[in-house]
Amino acid sequence: MGIRYIEEKKIFKMDTERTTYLIGLSPEGYVGHIYYGKRLMGSGSNYLLRMQEPPYTPSVNMREKAPFLDTFPTEYPTGGIGDYRESCLDVRCESGSIGSELLFRSFRIFKGKEKLEGLPASFGGEDDVETLEIVCEDSILQLRVILSYSVFADCDMITRSARIENAGSQHLKLEKVYSACLDMDNKDFDMLTLPGSWARERCIQRGRIRCGKQMVSSIRGESSHQEHPFIALATPETTQEAGEVYAMNFVYSGNFIAQAELSQFGSVRMLMGIHSDYFCWNLGPGEVFWAPEAVLTYSADGLGRMTRNFHDFYREHIIRSPYKYGKRPVLINNWEATYFDFNSEKLLEIAKEAGKAGIEMLVMDDGWFGKRNCDDNSLGDWTVNEEKITSGLPDLVKKVNELGLKFGIWFEPEMISPDSDLYRAHPDWAIQIKGRRPSQIRAQYVLDLSRPEVVDYAYRCVADILRSAPIAYVKWDMNRQLCDIGSGCLKEDAQGELMHRYMLGVYEMQERLVNEFPDLLLENCSGGGARFDPGMLYYSPQIWCSDDVDAVERLRIQEGTALVYPLASMGAHIGDCPNHVVGRNTPFATRGNVALAGTFGYELDITKIAREEREQIPGQVEMYHKYRELIQRGDYYRLASWSMEKPYDCWEVAAKDKSHALVTFVQVLAQPNMHSRVIYLRGLEEEAEYRLEGTEEVYSGEELMKCGYLVPSCKGDFISFLYHFVRN
């Protein structure tokens, strides 16, 4: 396993446990993509580069270069020189034209992986990961492009990024820099994506690819509610258990594009990177640009294997927080309980009741600072509103701690309200186009985090509050998209750098935060789940999944999110009924069972809910603690999908050592005159016997997986059951 260069064939071979990735060099030095798929035991060869077929390789057969480049399967296509498919790199030189041609120069293979400057990225020790760097050059521009591949053999993951270095004396402009490209032959691929909207984020969409380009993207300055930086191409028969899948995910939280392009010859180009709209980066002599990392996986065993590859990888190689596998306190958040209408007394009432029920942390959400009693003011004025928090924050935290609960707090550090002291003092700190009145969204502007002094200010506001009291948790929110893209401090010809520099500013703040407060539990959030991506997971082990906590809607949202992200990263709470977004009533127990597939917490006024519901909370908290470790570390299997095909939803988490498994079954819609339903478990030991906890029923692993378990039929909508199978 690992990476090899086979000199006589001019092939780079990268192996993971189940996959192989082959790169070959043409006689001229074009870096071509040969193969990605099931593990090859041999060293491979480069006939798949099709250098003997028309249009022939120019240096060998004296044919033209442009038709060759337009068909050649390349690792990193450049624009302007004859490959008419989507390029990864567009460079404008001083003469004003776009064109670059990359030829192989050298390579380096080393154990471990280097950091990406200023960016979140996967990490691993010398035993976990090996890296190949291919150095290419455009000799006219004196531009060096370093293609980087890091191979995480155990998880079947390969990460890619590109570093662009200006080694010449010209002033270059990067008008497009993507991170990864995969040229393959079409296998009648379906494309899977995760589109959505506010309160219904990341719903799985699947459809056959057609000729031309089909893409998902965001130019909103965040990975967004609407699209998601994930794309998979799957063979048509692919199910959870079988079929081939190629997937890419982006370790970045801002603008992105993920695209599949079916060409005239039936080849497919799949790529991912920062969206080129609103992007232009000045690369002066000696300067370097780092493209964010794309994560690639291939599964020959269906979507389930792809999912588990991502889960294992993110848990081991993206999430850094000590809470990754640690015990996270069960929290109660006051947002849906009170919205802006609260004060210390109200919070203490909630904390008191919550403590009695076993809840372990109170989170004070939006509305505690400035003069904020609604959403049209005070962002940027991060001083405690002492009309609401009457005896000050340290005293409130102390009182909550005395009730036996930890204390958490909400911030939205990237924003500035027009009605704020900060805006009155620094109107130019808001992102805006000179001479044009910027748009407000939720009555707020976005801070220009390309400015170091603004980053410093925003960070200081958060840190000062955290230094003032023992605060265990921060919810870092971001409630609007970016527009009117202009900065008062960037030069005219550098305005195209703003959106990426904004992201670098966000990352810098979060990096400082996790370094200064290593024990802080950080939860990212963006108007629900608009910034749920691996970039954010690098800083926070959990991300608020959606503002919709309705148990039924959450089935779909959490299914889509869990297609890629580990269960314990999904912020999931039990809300009140009727649900505030859809008005639906669901049983309290079902809300709990669904939230158990995420971080598990409460989002309601515990002093006001029905006694029968309040009485269920201690049991639910106990259930969370019982299964927490299994959910944080286990293998996730999707057994049935309400959103796709069935009137019920069912998933399983199996311990990696196969010692036990928890199955959650939710009957969304009851059907008349139905038999019991059979569900087929996964990830068990065939020969072992498993007892269904709380019963005398014993089954072999083989039976449960091949013959299935019978879920008794029952009446009623939104009813749910947990089945815990424990190896005897």
Could you list the active site residues?
Answer: 477, 547
The span from the CA of 109 to the CA of 104, in Å, is 15
Residue least distant from ligand DGJ (Cβ): 366
β-partners of residue 628 are none
Q: Which of 138, 366, 497, 635 binds ligand DGJ (CB under 6 A)?
A: 366
Block residue for tokens 């531009």? 143
- Span interacting with ligand DGJ, options 39-47, 199-207, 461-469, 525-533, rule CB under 6 A: 525-533
What is the distance in angstroms between the CA of the first residue and the CA of the last residue of the chain? Answer: 36
User: Which tokens belong to 18?
Assistant: 């189940």
Instruction: Assess 410 for contact with ligand DGJ (CB under 6 A).
Output: yes
Q: How far is CA 619 from the centre of its chain?
A: 32
Cβ 370 to ligand DGJ, closest distance in Å? 13
- Span interacting with ligand DGJ, options 49-57, 155-163, 491-499, 522-530, rule CB under 6 A: 522-530
Cβ 533 to ligand DGJ, closest distance in Å? 16
* Concatenated DSSP letters of 395-449: HHHHHHHHTT-EEEEEE-TTEE-SSSHHHHH-GGGB---TTSPPPPBTTBEEB-T
- Applying CB under 6 A, the site for ligand DGJ has a residue count of 11
Instruction: Assess 725 for contact with ligand DGJ (CB under 6 A).
Output: no
Contacts of 262 (CB under 8 A, 6+ apart): 186, 209, 210, 211, 212, 268
The span from the CA of 499 to the CA of 221, in Å, is 6
Site residues (CB under 6 A) for ligand DGJ, limited to 276-335: 335
Residue type present at position 600: F
Q: Which of 544, 565, 709, 718 binds ligand DGJ (CB under 6 A)?
A: 544
Shorter beta-carbon distance to ligand DGJ: residue 445 or 665: 445
Q: Which of 58, 168, 355, 528 binds ligand DGJ (CB under 6 A)?
A: 528
Q: Which of 567, 573, 695 is nearest to 628 (CA)?
A: 567
One character per residue 467-486, x = contact with ligand DGJ (rule: CB under 6 A)? ----------x-x-------
* 553 three-class SS: helix
Backbone dihedral angles phi then psi of residue 440, each to the nearest 5 degrees = -100, 145
The span from the CA of 561 to the CA of 555, in Å, is 10
* 421 three-class SS: helix
- Span interacting with ligand DGJ, options 147-155, 156-164, 524-532, 711-719, rule CB under 6 A: 524-532
Q: Which of 75, 301, 547, 548 binds ligand DGJ (CB under 6 A)?
A: 547
Shorter beta-carbon distance to ligand DGJ: residue 301 or 412: 412
Cβ 544 to ligand DGJ, closest distance in Å? 5
Contacts of 367 (CB under 8 A, 6+ apart): 338, 339, 340, 341, 342, 373, 385, 388
Cβ 318 to ligand DGJ, closest distance in Å? 22
One character per residue 659-698, x = contact with ligand DGJ (rule: CB under 6 A)? ----------------------------------------
Contact 572, 602 (CB under 8 A): no
Instruction: Assess 532 for contact with ligand DGJ (CB under 6 A).
Output: no
Shorter beta-carbon distance to ligand DGJ: residue 575 or 634: 575
Cβ 529 to ligand DGJ, closest distance in Å? 8
The span from the CA of 317 to the CA of 311, in Å, is 10
Residue type present at position 159: T
Residue type present at position 503: M
Core vs surface per residue 47-80: b (16+ CB within 10 A) or e:
ebbbbeeebbbbeeeeeebebbbbbbbbbbbbbe
Cβ 252 to ligand DGJ, closest distance in Å? 21
Q: Which of 128, 183, 360, 365 binds ligand DGJ (CB under 6 A)?
A: 365
* Concatenated DSSP letters of 454-508: HHHHHHHHHHHHHHHTT--EEEE-------S---SSS-GGGGGGHHHHHHHHHHH
Cβ 282 to ligand DGJ, closest distance in Å? 35
Instruction: Assess 525 for contact with ligand DGJ (CB under 6 A).
Output: yes
Cβ 522 to ligand DGJ, closest distance in Å? 14
Cβ 368 to ligand DGJ, closest distance in Å? 11
- Would you say the C-alpha torsion 578, 584, 587, 590 has a positive or negative sign? negative
Instruction: Assess 553 for contact with ligand DGJ (CB under 6 A).
Output: no
- Span interacting with ligand DGJ, options 144-152, 523-531, 583-591, 693-701, rule CB under 6 A: 523-531
Residues within the interface to ligand DGJ (CB under 6 A)? 335, 365-366, 410, 477, 479, 525, 527-528, 544, 547
